[in-house]
Structure 1
């Protein structure tokens, strides 16, 4: 059976980290909410599964993945599950947990990037919290982006400079690529400056982009463009 991915159909968001793993593995999967309602897919199918009373471990929100009778929510948990099944996680327990730890750190950065444009409340539009967003983004650019990228650089150099864990591509490498891609979209000036100080991170970003399956995916309609509805948003006034 194909994996079923449930996520919003018009944004990359947190679901993109899962899509990249599925694409790199060449896995058979269906992006349910992007399908046609007449085929039993679409947003209605996603809502129905979220509200299905037979699911005893319901997800709070997308993304979530269905694999037969198993339903998993939260990006990091989905990737922890998929990693060994897709050949994108190390075999040893210590390395698997380390990969998961890196993924959770990436999730921290993603949350902070989101909060640069929604620092007060998710329910309020960006336009109603612009002064607070400018202040939050200023700290994110000056301190958090450099600090996080320096940590990833440290992890890479300690592991030989090519991969975050082990000697082969893991889902953590793919997720770091997506994180950097998003930061380059939202904060190109600040991110370019930070990448200049962290060459191994920049090299990993370029290497993942060049993987045959990833390159094909990025050039395909399956890759949703960055936009101002997702996590990474380009507001020029936040990247001074």
Structure 2
């Protein structure tokens, strides 16, 4: 049976981190919310499962993955589950928790990216909090991007086994997630990311290495890859973008 991925239709969002792992591994999966009612899919099918009064262990919010009767919520948790099955996790169990920890750090970064355009409340429109967003984004570009990527650069430098891998000698799901972070920030803040490769050459090399993976390259050129847009986590508002110091 194919894996069933549940996430909002029309958005890359957090679901994209899971899609990249599934696509890289050539795994069979169904992006449920992008399906049709005729096939028992679509957004209604996702909402029905989330609102079930009989399904045990219902998820709070997407993304979540269904594998048979098992429902696995949260990006890092899904990837911890999928990684060994897809050949995208270290064989050493202890190293798997290292990779999981890195993925959780990426989750922290993703939350901060979201808050650049929704710094006050998620149920307010961006237009209702633009001035606060400018303040939040200025701090994010000047302080938080260097903080996170300085750490990721150091992780890559201090990995004794790989050149473009965050942990171990083979590509894992966290490398694919790092690729998505770089792509997303480059879309949202092209001015701030203009000299990214000069400041963080190892992260830039990781991004290029992932881009050369055949299944990833094929996926990026396909209609399955949802374009970045101003409804997702990575949004380009020119008034928020600025040159990095």
Fold conserved between structures, TM > 0.5: yes
> Moved runs in structure 1, 4+ residues, more than 4 A?
none
Give the 5 Å matches for 1:1-240.
1-159=1-159, 160-240=162-242
Deviation at 1:100, TM superposition (A): 0.4
> Contact 1:177–1:208 (CA<8 Å) still a contact in 2?
yes
Count the aligned residue pairs. Answer: 240
Q: RMSD in angstroms over aligned alpha carbons?
A: 0.9
Distance 1:31 1:164 in 2: 28
Q: How far is the alpha carbon of 1:52 from its aligned partner?
A: 1.9
CA distance in 2, matches of 1:102, 1:63: 19
Q: CA deviation at 1:183?
A: 0.4
Alpha-carbon distance between aligned partners in 1 of 2:194 and 2:110, rounded to the nearest angstrom: 17
**Is the contact made by 1:18 and 1:79 (CA closer than 8 Å) also made in structure 2?**
yes
For 1:133 and 1:51, how far apart are their aligned partners in 2? 33
Q: Following TM superposition, by how much is the alpha carbon of 1:3 offset from its aligned partner in structure 2, in angstroms?
A: 0.2
- Point out the structure with the larger helix share: 1
Instruction: Tell me, in whole angstroms, the C-alpha distance in 2 between the residues paired with 1:16 and 1:126.
Output: 22
SS of match in other structure, 1:66: strand
Unaligned runs of 5+ in 2: none
Contact 1:145 1:194 in 2 (8 A): no
Conserved 8 A contact 2:196-2:204? no
Deviation of 1:50 after TM superposition, in Å, equals 0.8
